[in-house]
Amino acid sequence: MPTNEELLLLDLWVSPFSTRVKIALAEKGLSYKTQEEDVLGGKSDLLLKSNPLYAKVPVLLHNGKPVVESTNIVYYIDETWPSPQLLPACSYGKSTARFWADFIDKKVFDAGRNIWQSKGEELEAAKNEFIDILKKLEGAMGDKDYFGGDKFGFVDVILIGLTTWFYAYEKYGGFKIEKECPKFAAWVNRCKERDSVAKNYIDPERTHEFVGLLRKMHGVE
C-alpha cells in the first residue's frame, strides 16, 4: 500500500463483524489504525457521519472515504488490493462464494441470538435451527479444507469472525459443536491456525461474558 494511503477502522472489540474486516486486512498485509467505539456510551460523531443509515461498526475509512457493512468492506478490500485474492477468479466461483456469504449473513448471527435470548422449548428449537444451519454449511464445504477449496478465502473470512461468539451459544444452548458438527469444528480449528485469524480472534471467554451481560439487559436471566 502506498505510504500516503490511510486506513482507519471504526471498531468494537466484541464485534464479530469487525473481526471479519480485521482478518481480511491481515490477509492482505495492510496496516491500519483503529478507533474503538464505546459499547455503552454514545456513538462517535465520526461513526454517525460515516454510517448515517445504520450507525454501526465496522466502518473502514480509506483516505477518509467510508465503506460500511462488513461483508461489503471485505469485498472492497479484496477488489482494491487484489493480491492475494480472497474471491475465486472465475465468475461462477464468485457467484457461489457470494451465495454462501449471503446465506451466512442472513442466518448465522440471528440464529445465535435466538439461542441466547431463549429458554425452554424455544431454546430447543433455536438450538436445532442453529445446528441445521451449521450442517448446511458443512454440506457446502463438502470434503474441501475451506469453502472455496484448498485455500482460505472469501467465505471463510465472512464466517470465521462469527464463530468467536459460538462458545457463548454452546454454553447457553447446552450443546457442543464438536459433537454435533465435527467437520465444522475441524474447519474452525484449521482457520485458527492462520496468523490472520489467530491474532484477531476474540477470546471466547470474553464474548461469553459479554453475551451474559446482553442476556441480563434483555431480561433473559
Query: What is the rounded distance in angstroms from the CA atom of residue 201 to the CA atom of residue 86?
Result: 19
Stretch that binds its own copies, among 36-44, 97-105, 191-199, 203-211 (CB under 8 A): 97-105
Coil, strand or helix at 33: strand
Among 33, 49, 94, 218, binds its own copies (CB under 8 A): 94
The answer to whether residue 149 forms part of the interface with its own copies (CB under 8 A) is no
Q: Which residue has the cell 489467530?
A: 198
Q: Are 183 and 177 in contact (CB under 8 A)?
A: no
The answer to whether residue 132 forms part of the interface with its own copies (CB under 8 A) is no
The answer to whether residue 48 forms part of the interface with its own copies (CB under 8 A) is no
The answer to whether residue 92 forms part of the interface with its own copies (CB under 8 A) is yes
Q: Are 87 and 97 in contact (CB under 8 A)?
A: yes
DSSP string, 163-201: GGGHHHHHHHHT--HHHH-HHHHHHHHHHHTSHHHHTTP
The answer to whether residue 69 forms part of the interface with its own copies (CB under 8 A) is yes
The answer to whether residue 79 forms part of the interface with its own copies (CB under 8 A) is yes
Q: Which residue has the cell 461498526?
A: 57
Q: Are 158 and 101 in contact (CB under 8 A)?
A: yes
The answer to whether residue 67 forms part of the interface with its own copies (CB under 8 A) is yes
Among 2, 41, 45, 53, binds its own copies (CB under 8 A): 53
Among 5, 29, 39, 72, binds its own copies (CB under 8 A): 72
Please work out the total of residues on this chain that contact its own copies, with binding judged by CB under 8 A. Answer: 21
**Sites of contact with its own copies (CB under 8 A):** 53, 62, 65, 67-69, 72-73, 75-76, 79-80, 91-92, 94-95, 98-99, 102-103, 136
